[in-house]
Amino acid sequence: MTDPHFHGQAGVRIAGTGLGLPEGRLTNADLEKIMDTSDEWIVQRTGIRERRKADPDQDSQLSMATKALDAALSDAGMKGSDLDLVINGTCSADSTVPSGACRVAANVGATPAGAFDLVAACSSFVYALNVADTMVRSGRAKSVGVIGCEFLTRMMDYSDRRVSILFGDGAGAAVVTADEDTRRGCLWQMTEGDGRDWEKLYRPMDESQIPEWDRENPIQQGCIRMSGQDIYRFAVTKFGEVIASGLEATGLKSEDISQFICHQSNIRILQKAMERNEIPDEKLRINIDRYGNTSAASVPIILHELRSEGKLAAGDLAMFVAFGAGLTWAANVWRV
Ligand code: ACO
């Protein structure tokens, strides 16, 4: 039966972007005061110099996500009531019942838009962007608010120096909307995962959730645990493979892509991806020095920075890439 609401293949445009960053900062010098670490070790192994740290008395996942989406709507010249759907990419929502997305949608006046949280750890924003592109392109939605927002510092055990130095808080959002130019939006998407390796990066809520490799270690429940070297190897391999797949599937070369908009996990992982895929420095923005790893928020923060500096013009090609716990990974090639 023909669906009267199906309008066919629309083009898809990123109409606006915005940020929701907490004021607080946690520098490597601050960490030196509370654990046995050094600025030199952290910078050399990760590229991080400072991260944003939300204040639990003032900030929340909801407040950061709302700020980011409000800013993206005003950048797009749109109102919350223009949105058909809000996707809140996060693994650190304030609550699961109701979802963070429902409350963000209410805060920005996007009712009765559909709203859901999308939990794919560091891949969440790119997963959500792929869903948004598909919904708009198919005509199922006209405009979608896509958020990547994390309050991760409340999931850190600061006696665990291998993990807690990495993560920071913040939010970025994009408003994705239908466009008459059908060439705009995703030329190619990948939205994948492999749960067999879940235990390499996880957050235990009770004893039963602690995998074999971590049983002997002191563990604070509710805090993120990671087998760092396994994740490092996964990330380096997957990053290179995903970029190569996107280029092969579209018949493009690295030089055809204006910007690679990549999850900021570790500067060494990003540098290896650049070497393997022959990507010059100016095409892969790194800001991990200022924000640390903000999981779902890292890609929309980079996207906003590039757009604000005029580095993504209409018609440019961008490749979005992220990977994270699950394990998950996602990518797309997007004609801006
Ligand atoms: N300060 C000082 N020394 C430290 C610290 C620290 N913060 N952390 C670990 N060390 C010490 C260790 O104790 C160890 O000492 P030892 O040999 O005496 O035991 C030594 O440094 C080496 O430890 P490793 O854990 O082997 O350090 P590694 O070189 O693997 O670096 C790191 C750790 C940075 C976490 C690395 O494994 C990594 O980048 N992994 C990728 C993980 C990642 O990016 N995760 C992001 C989240 S997941 C995502 O976004 C998908």
Find the mean pLDDT for residues 102-125: 98
Please tell me which residue in 122, 149, 186, 262 is annotated as part of the active site: 122
Longest CA pairwise span in the chain (Å): 66
Q: Which residue in 244, 270, 261, 68 sits closest to 149, CA to CA?
A: 68
Please tell me which residue in 88, 293, 304, 332 is annotated as part of the active site: 293
Cα 228 to ligand 1 centroid, rounded to whole Å: 6
Q: Which of 25-34, 51-60, 187-196, 213-222 comes out lowest in average pLDDT? A: 213-222
What's 14-28 look like in SS3?
EEEEEECCCCCEEEH
Percentage of residues of the chain with pLDDT beyond 90:
94
pLDDT surpassing 60 at residue 326 = yes
Sorting pLDDT into bands at 50, 70 and 90, what band is 9?
confident
What are the backbone angles phi and psi of residue 43, rounded to the nearest 5°? -65, -45
What pLDDT score does 273 carry?
87
pLDDT surpassing 50 at residue 239 = yes
pLDDT surpassing 70 at residue 7 = no
What pLDDT score does 68 carry?
98
Query: By alpha-carbon position, which residue is closest to atom 30 of ligand 1?
Result: 229
Cα 169 to ligand 1 centroid, rounded to whole Å: 20
Q: What is the number of the ligand 1 atom nearest to the C-alpha of 164?
A: 7
Cα 162 to ligand 1 centroid, rounded to whole Å: 5
Percentage of residues of the chain with pLDDT beyond 70:
98
Is there a catalytic annotation at residue 263?
yes
CA gap 61, 45 in Å, rounded: 28
Sorting pLDDT into bands at 50, 70 and 90, what band is 8?
low
CA gap 72, 16 in Å, rounded: 5
Amino acid at 109: G
Q: For residue range 274-292, list pLDDT tens digits in order.
A: 898 889 999 999 999 999 9
CA atoms within 13 A on the CB side of 121: 24
Q: What is the DSSP string of 93-122?
A: -S-SSS-HHHHHHHHTT-TT-EEEEE--GG
Cα 163 to ligand 1 centroid, rounded to whole Å: 7
CB 332, CB 190: distance < 8 Å: yes
Q: What is the mean pLDDT of the chain?
A: 95
Choose the residue to mutate in 230, 232, 271 for probing ligand 1, maximizing ligand atoms within 8 Å of C-beta.
Answer: 232
Label the pairing between strands 25-27 and 50-52: antiparallel
Is there a catalytic annotation at residue 149?
no
Sorting pLDDT into bands at 50, 70 and 90, what band is 89?
very high
Cis geometry, peptide bond prior to residue 300 (ω within 30 degrees of 0): no
What pLDDT score does 22 carry?
98
pLDDT surpassing 60 at residue 1 = no
Q: What is the DSSP string of 65-80?
A: HHHHHHHHHHHHT--G
Please tell me which residue in 28, 88, 130, 263 is annotated as part of the active site: 263
Q: Domains for the chain: give ranges and CATH numbers.
A: 11-182 (3.40.47.10), 186-335 (3.40.47.10)
Is there a catalytic annotation at residue 262?
no
pLDDT surpassing 80 at residue 170 = yes
